[in-house]
Amino acid sequence: MSGAVALFTDGLDWHAARLERAITRRGVECRRVPLNACGFAVGRTETGLLLPGFGDTLPSGAFVRVVGQGSFEQVTLRLGVLHALDRLGVPVYNTARAIERCVDKSTTSFLLAHAGLPTPPSIAVQSAEMARAAVEAVPDSVLKPLFGAQGRGLRRLSRPDEVPEPDAVAGVYYLQPFVPPLRKGEWRDCRVFVVGGIAVAAMIRHGRGWITNVHQGASCEALGPDGIVADLAVRAAAAVGADYAGVDLIADPDGGDRWLVLEVNSMPAWQGLQSVSKIDIAAVLAIDFIRRVEGGAAGGTQ
């Protein structure tokens, strides 16, 4: 491989540190680049891009760990840089297209259902009146931020008058029916980590309440990355075109060995999962990323 790769991150956090180490251990130079410092320089640089640490050259590959918080305009610009890199022939892992599909939960739901995967019904509307009608039809609904992550901002709504005003949800109401646990009080779901079309690690998350995210205090239990959950997770990652993904599933309350795919995260954290997994997840990611860069293939992009 010729040239350094870019690791897009907003700091040397736990995940970025391990990724950088895993990549460099394999003889590849890795430069950390914050996307909030990137931009376009059309007619001013040979590439037309501003990439700190690369000057007039392009990275041989780009691993997207974090896009970062920002305004709609800032995030659009950062994704534009990723689109441009892809257009210039730089393997981007995950692509902007995959990230866009996953960040927007309504698009994820559409693509999962279109691929024939079991997923809860959902509705995404832009008026409080339509949201109230949806809650009236399904009195136990979960309101999720369209662009939210780590279990933040989730609300259970039982009555139409509980629907917040548009300003509180950035003008979009994304609603799903609440999926009850198989046993009362046992709050749990499943996270499967998919890399290069293979389920490499999995866990059961046990929540203190109905929100079962590790950042919200859930505990982790090891689970073999095989069987139905692995198959569904691999198919879900393929449906959104992700090279790597964290796929969240929940047991179908209708019983049997059935699961529903809740979400697909294109920039998943794995610190909690690593604590109960035998494999080195950063190493698996680095190996598949370098394989992609050396092959120059389009990977999971659809």
- Look up the CATH number of the domain holding residue 230: 3.30.470.20
Query: What pLDDT is attached to residue 12?
Result: 74
Same domain, residue pair 189 and 257 = yes
Same domain, residue pair 197 and 263 = yes
Same domain, residue pair 210 and 270 = yes
User: How far is it, in rounded angstroms, from Cα 215 to Cα 28?
Assistant: 32
Q: Which amino acid would we find at residue 29?
A: E
- For the chain, which residues score pLDDT lower than 70? 1-2, 148-152, 185, 208-209, 212-213, 215-217, 256, 296-302
Give which of 182, 183, 201, 187 is closest to 154, Cα–Cα: 187
List, in order, residues 6 or more apart from 99 with CB less than 8 Å away: 64, 67, 79, 82, 266, 267
Same domain, residue pair 149 and 192 = no
Boundary of a domain, candidates 72, 90, 108:
90
Same domain, residue pair 190 and 161 = no
Answer whether residue 72 is part of any domain.
yes
The values of phi and psi at residue 62, to 5°, are -135, 125
Domains of the chain: total: 3
Cβ distance 232 to 261 under 8 Å? Answer: yes
Query: What pLDDT is attached to residue 148?
Result: 63
Answer whether residue 116 is part of any domain.
no
User: How far is it, in rounded angstroms, from Cα 37 to Cα 15?
Assistant: 20
Query: What pLDDT is attached to residue 256?
Result: 66
For residue 208, give Cα distances in angstroms to 188, 217, 262.
Answer: 9, 7, 19
Rounded to the nearest angstrom, the gap between the alpha carbon of residue 161 and the centroid of all alpha carbons in its chain is 32
pTM across the whole model = 0.91
Answer whether residue 214 is part of any domain.
yes
Same domain, residue pair 226 and 147 = no
Answer whether residue 113 is part of any domain.
no
Query: What pLDDT is attached to residue 244?
Result: 98
Q: Which domain holds residue 62?
A: 5-90
Query: What pLDDT is attached to residue 212?
Result: 67
Answer whether residue 109 is part of any domain.
no
Answer whether residue 98 is part of any domain.
no
Q: Which amino acid would we find at residue 23?
A: I
Boundary of a domain, candidates 73, 90, 107:
90
